[in-house]
A and B are shown apart, each in its own frame.
Chain A
Amino acid sequence: MSADALLQLRDVGKTFGDTVALEPTSLSVDEGSFVAIVGPSGCGKSTLFNVIAGLLTPDSGEVRLSDEPVTGTTGHVGYMLQKDLLVPWRTVEGNITMAARLTRRVTSEDRAEARRVAEQYGLGEFLRHYPSALSGGMRQRVAFMRTLVTHQPLLLLDEPFGALDAQTRLEMQQWLLQVWKDTGRTVLFITHDVDESIFLSDRVLVMSPRPGRIIADLANPLARPRDVDVLIDPQFIEMKSQIMHLLHGGRR
């Protein structure tokens, strides 16, 4: 295993009743990298995430973060879902500082940081707005800022842009790459969308259901920074075709 691996899974498996949600899986994720996970429903993507986040205790294996065992414990990752899960009774500022409020007293530094992050990423004017006043894209950005200010080195993003329209989604992807570059976090990103997985990542893990497992681990050859032109790059097309065949079968 690489010396600068932030996250390491060793033979992590999970079964629900008779269903093998996740076959014993090993995985190593380098610090600062962006890893996308694609696969159909029921391939164990979310089980994998919940095990890493500590919401589920695996039947076997071990999860290590920065070489510390964290199996079955929480409080060590940033976590974001397709649902923005903003609370309607807090303003944008209050939602960004939510992780702090859930673990200790919110300090003026927390609030200052929330303001700084919101201003930096274009939501400065909306700090005192309630989430109900925001568009879907803005809400997802707030949810992401909330994830960011947890200061966790590893961010687990489970289809964060899945509910957005295509236009907003493209904007959000570019925005996410910018934030990722600025902050140097490590990102694990679940998606259904093959284009999205290639556009964003350094590496794509392809998963398959029954039993849930990783069937391919592909390095992404595309150079950064990337813009929308990447979507018609021959290397992009090649990688997309490879992933499509892995997901849907057929000859190559």
Chain B
Amino acid sequence: MRRTLLRNVGIPLLSMVLLFALWQGIVVFFNVAPYVAPRPLQAIQAVTRDWSSLWPLVLATIRETVYGFACGTLLGLSLGVIMAKVPFLQRMVYPVLVLSQAVPIIALAAPLVLILGFGGTPIVVIVAWIVFFPVTVNVLDGLSHVDQDLVNLARVYGASKWRTFIQIEIPATTTSLFSGLKIGATYAVTGAIIGELVASNGLSLAIYQEHADSNFNTAAVYGTTMLMTAIGISWFLLVVGTEVLVTPWQRRSVARRPLFHRRAAVVPPTSQH
């Protein structure tokens, strides 16, 4: 248990530390001017010094990311299911989906602001626009690769289409769904920042960075970038954590006792490795 924790958390942390050390090393060794690139600690200090004004902006970016991700997931999941179930719609909708992703997202932002006005709504739409596509593609792929023998077995047992869908097809698609969600999670924050650049009414994390840039506050520019990256990583890790929680069979050989309706302790609780 200890060893796995060390390997799964320790090694990634070490690589982060090395990355920062490399950054520090390059800046010091080449004597890079502070207005071109600050040292890592200076960038972090620029953020902590102004934390009280940055914090609400971070919260807003997180909110846009979460709302957009939720909408994108819901849309992506529904589209994936509908397309898998109705081949006619699949043929009809697929090219439109590809088209939607071929549109440069920046070029999409301007008309969205014209339609929806400035503010949170167009930003959420942009995030959802980016997130739904990998979800749809992966869900569609997952659903069309469900073992037909398993579906037939359910039929032999007399299962309805609905129960077969809920009990067989959906669980069989979980892994694919999470592949889509993980891709979506990495792009979601990028979408939110692009949205903020174009559609913010008032201050936002992206606009804060623009101001820092025009004031030659390079440390704050870098610091804000680090902050945005941190939001993206956290969101990705949250999705991965959810996957670990809802798909225990992928890494365990024995199921945990369910949290509720525990049976009386027939077997004394044994420690699992």
Residue contact B172 to A103, C-beta cutoff 8 Å: no
The answer to whether B249 has its CB under 8 Å from any CB of chain A is: yes
Quote the shortest CB–CB distance from B241 to chain A (angstroms). Answer: 18
Residue contact A132 to B153, C-beta cutoff 8 Å: no
Quote the shortest CB–CB distance from A9 to chain B (angstroms). Answer: 17
Residue contact B252 to A87, C-beta cutoff 8 Å: no
Chain B positions within 8 Å of A74 at CB level: 155-158
Most A CB within 10 A of own CB, among B171, B249, B252, B257: B249
Q: A55-B152, A81-B149, A130-B255 in contact; A89/B157 too (CB < 8 A)? A: no
Q: A101-B167, A130-B254 in contact; A88/B249 too (CB < 8 A)? A: yes
Residue ID in chain B nearest A101 by CB atoms: B167
Quote the shortest CB–CB distance from A111 to chain B (angstroms). Answer: 9
Chain B positions within 8 Å of A132 at CB level: 249, 253
Residue contact B253 to A129, C-beta cutoff 8 Å: yes
Quote the shortest CB–CB distance from B155 to chain A (angstroms). Answer: 5
Residue ID in chain A nearest B150 by CB atoms: A85
Residue contact A87 to B253, C-beta cutoff 8 Å: no
Q: A53-B156, A99-B157 in contact; A87/B163 too (CB < 8 A)? A: no
Most A CB within 10 A of own CB, among B153, B164, B172, B174: B153
The answer to whether B168 has its CB under 8 Å from any CB of chain A is: yes
Complex Cα spacing A102 to B166, Å: 9
Quote the shortest CB–CB distance from A4 to chain B (angstroms). Answer: 24
Q: A85-B147, A130-B253, A132-B253 in contact; A55/B167 too (CB < 8 A)? A: no
Chain A positions within 8 Å of B159 at CB level: 102-103
The answer to whether A221 has its CB under 8 Å from any CB of chain B is: no
Chain A positions within 8 Å of B157 at CB level: 74-75, 79, 98-99, 102-103, 150
Quote the shortest CB–CB distance from A176 to chain B (angstroms). Answer: 19
Chain A positions within 8 Å of B257 at CB level: 128
Residues of B within 8 A of A (CB): 147, 149-150, 152-160, 163-164, 167-168, 171-172, 174, 247, 249, 252-255, 257
A-B contact pairs, 14 of them (CB 8 A): A53-B156, A74-B156, A74-B158, A75-B156, A75-B158, A83-B147, A89-B247, A99-B157, A102-B154, A102-B158, A102-B163, A103-B160, A129-B255, A130-B249
